[in-house]
Amino acid sequence: MTRTFVVPDDGERRRVDRFVADVSGLSRSFVQKLIADGRLTLAGEPIKANAVIGPGDRLELEVPAVVPLDVAGEAIPLVVVYEDDDLLIVDKPAGLVVHPSAGHASGTLVNALLGRAGGAEYGGIAGVSRPGIVHRLDRDTSGLLMVAKDDAAQASLMAQLKARRVKKTYLALVQGSVAANVGRIEAPIGRDPKHRTRMAVVPDGRPSVTGYRVRERLGAWTLLELDLVTGRTHQIRVHLEAIGHAVAGDPVYGTGTSRRGPDGLDRLFLHAWRLELASPMDGHLIRATAPLPAELEAVLERLRDGDRPRGLPVASGAGR
């Protein structure tokens, strides 16, 4: 498939790899790979990733056909929250890995997608191992995840994510009483220099922003709604640990009480609760929600019971 892009007549000059990534919705690393393979041309000639382009330049990008994926479909149940001709939104359970990787060749969300309805078709522009996938959730995080059914939908969703037009809201139980009812964490995130398998707030990290609101105060714990403005690896977990309120049940960034969590918790208390995005087909607003899993709601109920004076009625759940 060949895609054509014309640099707007705004007087601005820019690097070609950044421009193509922005207008195509493709990741910059994938665009750079295509450029290295000679698949991006200007006036019929291959162009380098660091070339500077200007107004009126006409670029053609050849996106190769999807290579058949050597991953088997599996009969893994999926909870579908929303579906139309272009898009699927599923409620991923905690413990399910999103795509195959070393040590997880099967039993992933990708295997489940490929096994759905006898093997459906999905977008392929993010790579053959990630059919339709435009973002991911950590293995231990539950909740909503978008899947594109074709290349056009996948390009649209990737472009919306890059432009920060997809609103992703999470629910997390954190240790301690968060002082402000509403707040915003702005701290750069990068690889932890002391522990290379972890992320951390570091001076030379990528700009990262998380907004939060207190939803419920539960003694020694606080239930938060969190808006993921940027989408860095482990962002919510790193940001909350950095301000002294680690996510309950976090085996990587938690310590002591926060790592253990309140009584009855046996997983990370982090859930992708709500998504808001524009339909890839016609731009109308799509809003999807996934209530807290029963095991997390049960933890909240135990905390409420511990705080509630005897004789008072039971409060409504946090997943409403």
pLDDT the model gives residue 127:
62
Residues 257, 139 share a domain:
no
Give the DSSP H or E segment for 79. Answer: strand 79-83
Q: Is residue 314 part of a domain?
A: no
pLDDT the model gives residue 205:
92
Structure tokens, 84: 């139309």
Distance between the two ends of the chain, CA-based, in angstroms? 44
Angle, vertex CA 252, rays to CA 246 and CA 256, nearest 5: 60
Q: Is residue 86 part of a domain?
A: yes
What three-state secondary structure class fits 249? coil
Residues 83, 53 share a domain:
no
Per-residue pLDDT tens over the stretch 155-195: 899 889 988 999 999 999 999 999 999 999 999 999 999 98
Give the whole-angstrom CA distance, residue 186 versus residue 99.
29
CB atoms within 10 A of CB 313: 6
**Better-scored residue on pLDDT, 227 or 72:** 227
Residues 224, 190 share a domain:
yes
For residues 288-299, average pLDDT: 98
Rg (CA), the chain: 22
What CATH code is carried by the domain that includes residue 38? 3.10.290.10
Q: Is residue 283 part of a domain?
A: yes
Which residues are marked as active site?
138
Q: Is residue 278 part of a domain?
A: yes
Looking at 162, 194, 226, the residue that finishes a domain is 162
Per-residue pLDDT tens over the stretch 9-61: 887 888 999 888 888 777 777 888 899 999 999 988 999 999 999 999 999 99
pLDDT the model gives residue 64:
77
Residues 152, 190 share a domain:
no
Phi, psi at 206, each rounded to 5°: -80, 140
**Better-scored residue on pLDDT, 319 or 89:** 89
What CATH code is carried by the domain that includes residue 148? 3.30.2350.10
Residues forming a β-bridge with 6: 58
Residues 171, 150 share a domain:
no
Closest by alpha carbon to 224, among 169, 185, 276, 267? 169
For the entire predicted model, the pTM comes to: 0.78
Residues 195, 84 share a domain:
no
For residues 98-118, average pLDDT: 79
Q: Is residue 46 part of a domain?
A: yes
Residues 42, 99 share a domain:
no
pLDDT the model gives residue 22:
80
- Residue 47 belongs to domain spanning: 2-62
Give the whole-angstrom CA distance, residue 190 versus residue 309.
45
Looking at 162, 180, 201, the residue that finishes a domain is 162
Residues 267, 247 share a domain:
yes
For residues 134-162, average pLDDT: 91
Closest by alpha carbon to 114, among 131, 101, 98? 131
Residues 173, 158 share a domain:
no
Beta strands in 206-304 (DSSP E): 209-218, 221-228, 270-278, 285-289
Share of the chain above pLDDT 90, in %: 62
Give the whole-angstrom CA distance, residue 6 versus residue 18.
14
Residue 305 has pLDDT above 80, yes or no: yes
Q: Is residue 138 part of a domain?
A: yes
Residues 273, 206 share a domain:
yes
Spatial contact of 6 and 57, defined as CB atoms under 8 Å apart: yes
Spatial contact of 215 and 182, defined as CB atoms under 8 Å apart: no
Residues 301, 181 share a domain:
yes
Residue 82 has pLDDT above 70, yes or no: yes
Q: How far, in Å, are 21, 189, 246 from residue 201 at the CA level?
A: 26, 5, 14
Looking at 138, 162, 186, the residue that finishes a domain is 162
What three-state secondary structure class fits 67? coil
Q: Is residue 211 part of a domain?
A: yes
Give the whole-angstrom CA distance, residue 304 versus residue 91.
26
Q: Report how many domains make up the chain.
A: 3
Residues 172, 119 share a domain:
no
Question: What is the band of 288 on the pLDDT scale with cuts at 50, 70, 90?
Answer: very high
Closest by alpha carbon to 269, among 222, 307, 230? 222
**Length, in residues, of the chain:** 320
Question: What is the band of 278 on the pLDDT scale with cuts at 50, 70, 90?
Answer: very high
Residue 147 has pLDDT above 60, yes or no: yes
Q: Is residue 72 part of a domain?
A: no
Closest by alpha carbon to 127, among 101, 106, 103? 101
Question: What is the band of 320 on the pLDDT scale with cuts at 50, 70, 90?
Answer: very low
Residue 72 has pLDDT above 60, yes or no: yes
Q: Is 210 exposed, middle or buried (0-12, 13-18, 19+ CB in 10 A)?
A: buried
pLDDT the model gives residue 119:
57
For residues 254-282, average pLDDT: 96
pLDDT the model gives residue 309:
60
Structure tokens, 280: 């890839």
